[in-house]
Structure 1
Amino acid sequence: MDFSLTQEQKMVQRTIREFVKNELMPLEQQVLRNEREGRPGITSDELKALQLKAKELGFWGINTPEEYGGANLGSLMSAITWMELGRTFVPFSFGGQADNILYYCNEEQKKKYLIPTIEGKRRSCFALTEPGAGSDTSNIRMSAVKDGNEWVLNGEKIFITNGNDADFAMVFAVTDKEKGAHGGVTCFLVDREMGWRSERIPTMGEWDPAALVFEDVRVPEENILGTLGGGLNLGFQWIGAARWVIVARALGSAERLLQMAIDHAKTRVTFGKPIAERQAIQWMIADSAVEIEAAKWITLRAAWMLDQGLDNRHQASMSKLYGANMANRVVDRVLQIHGGMGYTKELPIERWYREMRLLRIFDGTDEIQRFIIARNLLKGHVKVGEWMD
């Protein structure tokens, strides 16, 4: 059992950390100003320019297969990459990537959707959640009715990331009511020009989701992704791949926040002493460090299991549950250590505070993760004290 990184992994980690420090962190004040004025933190043109800079360093398609021009670094390296990117709140991600389920496209669909997405010419969104069907995917109401060689979609999706900017959506709709959720739901590739519209949903954070409205949107038969009735299997693959990634980025943020708290505690003086000498402050710092370390190894193991071809769903749920709550506890302590200044918009702590709160809801609530974990244990899918394989 070796917990150390290889020399190649260390080199990649250092390079990304330098990129974040030199190219992204200097933009933080600009991002804060833009967001306060109701504008995007960075524009799409600025994002593309940064992605091209990263491409010059070899960072393009971090987890994209080599046949599509990607680096295919694997899940463990992807986790480390997201940790490093999490050290800043600048809304950046490396280019050259596509949603994992888009690789189920047939050859014609790959030309129209997958490859242009990898190249950055198209942008997708994943449309599963509905007003009455969030974690309860069995309650999907979006309908798709066959009419000749087309399907007519009606319904609404909600809280869709990238829904305001995407030019096509991966939409899940009921194609056979008799078969229910498993076997009766199909995924469609639906271009915006086919007639769906998006409506912005204001939130307490900088996440900018959308409601997608479908009114008699006609979709060609050839736009079915995967197989007819196989939609939920694809949906669960998308969700499962994202849970531990969310925590990986939060880990980077938590480490940056903790360092901010340590630096502040050493210089902030009350009653003649730095607050770093106060036990109350020391315990908040110590608890945060321990929880960050615990969340890190739960998450890295979830990524490692994927690289080994193992079923990581139980581990991913534990990562999501513990990591999301860890991030919320850490940012709350860091804000407390900074006192009144932490609550102001002069520092980015309050922004991170709002952002972290979403983690306990996004891609499966705390309650859903607890349900999954308990079910696996009670049904014997996972046994206490045994290594998962």
Structure 2
Amino acid sequence: MSPSEAFDPDILALPLYDNIHRALAADIGEWCGDRAEAWAAMDTGDPAAVGRTMLTELGRSGWLRHLGPDQPGPDTRALCLRRQALAYHEDLADFTYSIQELVATAISRHGTAEQRHRELPGLADGTRAGALALSEPGAGSDLAAAVFEAIPDGDGFVLNGTKTWIAQGDIADLCVVLARTGDGPGPLGLTAFLVDARAAGLRAEPIGAIAPRSWAELTFTDVRVGSEAVLGERGQGLVVALDVLERARTSVAGAALGFGRRAFRLARGHARTRKAYGGRLADLQLVRASLAKMDVELSAAALLTSRAAWATDLGHDYAKHASTAKLYATEAAGEIVDRAVQIFGAAGLVAGSPMERLYRQVRSLRIYEGPSEVIEMTIADAL
């Protein structure tokens, strides 16, 4: 089977990938391609409803099966390839998939055997939606500044406070919540909890975004959980959160590749067919130079992403590689989409057009799992 147009076959041919990854690229590329027409015609006016539909579709088709409690360990290269194909074809498919991955990773890496077998099956078959509730109105990137409280009460805790910008928060069945338990100052006083999103006292309010996505603000009013809700060790919540986000950065780079490659292919196709100045746009030197820059950036981003994923899978020190891939790929994807809009001209600004959607969709990647400025500091600290 040949790889999808979402991938560069020369990158997949490198020894950084195994045959199983090449087969995966072909399979998910074909699966997404079969749904591309229906996805393009989809009404995204209600992103929460679309998210539920996407989750069901991903689960039924087996693309979440690896999240189950008895599956082999994580395969970061496979994760990046899935996200690349999904982002190339449909933003909401990638968005939904990525949040399930985040929540399942937190549970599989830090949960007890009982927690894993209780929570992971529903995430793996798409019947339950997860949400990672970390950010607060006054604590976004600086998670150690969280003030959301979990007060010990008998054999459990009472949760009060607000979490915001929570992906899938309005459709979640399960939330991983970072809360201050008072075990120490700053980061030492944080604990992660598994919370039923249907618990009494928990209210979700959807948040609109420039690209339709399922985001919400979660308000907790005297939400009670038992001691079995603690995920990982009490007082080690920041460790859980940072571990999940650090591992996810490479996959954000994979999604950026999908967005960037889609924009590049659309711009190249338009330049080759658009008549201008007695020839084609593709004959103009400045347009050719712009396309060349886009291709170079895609190649560099793909190599950085592949290296980071490979290092993670082989158990090497991957943190700096993951941050480098995430920073470069997301910044490059933004530039590529911007150049593509310029090549399309006014046609790239039409509401609802593929280029207009890409322009809005790609922007958030420079903020997810650590904004570019924070990632730059992380890289600098590792030098």
TM-score by length of 2: 0.88
Within a 5 Å distance, the mapping from 1:363-378 to structure 2 comes to 363-377=369-383
**What is the CA distance between 1:91 and its match in structure 2?**
2.4
Which amino acid in 2 is paired with 1:80? L
Which residue number corresponds to residue 104 of structure 2? 99
Within a 5 Å distance, the mapping from 1:264-279 to structure 2 comes to 264-279=270-285
CA distance in 2, matches of 1:362, 1:106: 27
8 Å contact from structure 1 (residues 85, 252) kept in 2: yes
Within a 5 Å distance, the mapping from 1:3-14 to structure 2 comes to 3-4=14-15, 5-14=17-26
Q: Does 1:362 align with 2:368?
A: yes
Deviations 1:113-159, CA, capped at 9 Å, x for gaps = 22332233322211111111111112110111111112111111110
Which of 19, 22, 29 aligns to 1:17? It is: 29
Which of 340, 346, 350 aligns to 1:340? It is: 346
8 Å contact from structure 1 (residues 239, 363) kept in 2: yes
8 Å contact from structure 1 (residues 123, 167) kept in 2: yes
Q: Does 1:181 align with 2:147?
A: no
Unaligned 5+ runs, structure 1: 378-389
**What is the CA distance between 1:164 and its match in structure 2?**
0.5
Q: Does 1:79 align with 2:87?
A: no
**What is the CA distance between 1:345 and its match in structure 2?**
2.5
TM-score by length of 1: 0.87
**What is the CA distance between 1:230 and its match in structure 2?**
1.2
Within a 5 Å distance, the mapping from 1:184-203 to structure 2 comes to 184-192=189-197, 193-203=199-209
CA distance in 2, matches of 1:138, 1:89: 34
8 Å contact from structure 1 (residues 275, 281) kept in 2: yes
Q: Aligned to 1:206, what secondary structure does the other structure show?
A: coil
Within a 5 Å distance, the mapping from 1:1-389 to structure 2 comes to 3-4=14-15, 5-22=17-34, 24-31=35-42, 34-35=43-44, 37-38=45-46, 42=50, 44-45=52-53, 47-49=55-57, 51-52=59-60, 54-55=61-62, 59-62=63-66, 64=67, 68=70, 70=71, 74-89=75-90, 91-92=92-93, 99-103=104-108, 104-176=110-182, 179-192=184-197, 193-377=199-383
Deviations 1:261-319, CA, capped at 9 Å, x for gaps = 11111110112110100011011100000011111111111111111111211111111
**What is the CA distance between 1:219 and its match in structure 2?**
1.4
Deviations 1:67-123, CA, capped at 9 Å, x for gaps = 63x476721222222222222125225699652111232233234322332233322
Quickly say closer, same or farther: Cα 1:356–1:275, change in 2 above 3 A: same
8 Å contact from structure 1 (residues 200, 211) kept in 2: yes
Deviations 1:238-273, CA, capped at 9 Å, x for gaps = 111211111101202211211111111111011211
Which amino acid in 2 is paired with 1:124? G
CA distance in 2, matches of 1:203, 1:42: 15
Which residue number corresponds to residue 7 of structure 2? none
RMSD: 2.2
CA distance in 2, matches of 1:46, 1:184: 37
**What is the CA distance between 1:340 and its match in structure 2?**
0.8
Which amino acid in 2 is paired with 1:21? G
Q: Aligned to 1:256, what secondary structure does the other structure show?
A: helix
Q: Aligned to 2:222, what secondary structure does the other structure show?
A: strand
Considering only CA atoms, is the larger Rg found in Structure 1 or Structure 2?
Answer: 1
**What is the CA distance between 1:185 and its match in structure 2?**
0.7
8 Å contact from structure 2 (residues 144, 238) kept in 1: no
Unaligned 5+ runs, structure 2: 1-12
Which amino acid in 1 is paired with 2:219? V
Quickly say closer, same or farther: Cα 1:44–1:154, change in 2 above 3 A: closer
8 Å contact from structure 2 (residues 250, 309) kept in 1: yes
8 Å contact from structure 1 (residues 176, 184) kept in 2: yes
Quickly say closer, same or farther: Cα 1:216–1:8, change in 2 above 3 A: closer
8 Å contact from structure 1 (residues 301, 315) kept in 2: yes
**What is the CA distance between 1:43 and its match in structure 2?**
6.1
More moved, 345-354 vs 115-124: 115-124
**What is the CA distance between 1:336 and its match in structure 2?**
0.7
Which residue number corresponds to residue 380 of structure 1? none
Quickly say closer, same or farther: Cα 1:6–1:314, change in 2 above 3 A: closer
**What is the CA distance between 1:45 and its match in structure 2?**
4.1
8 Å contact from structure 1 (residues 25, 90) kept in 2: no
Quickly say closer, same or farther: Cα 1:45–1:39, change in 2 above 3 A: closer
Higher relative contact order (CA 8 A, sep 6+): 2
More moved, 81-90 vs 364-373: 81-90
Which amino acid in 2 is paired with 1:28? W
Which amino acid in 2 is paired with 1:190? V
Q: Aligned to 2:366, what secondary structure does the other structure show?
A: coil
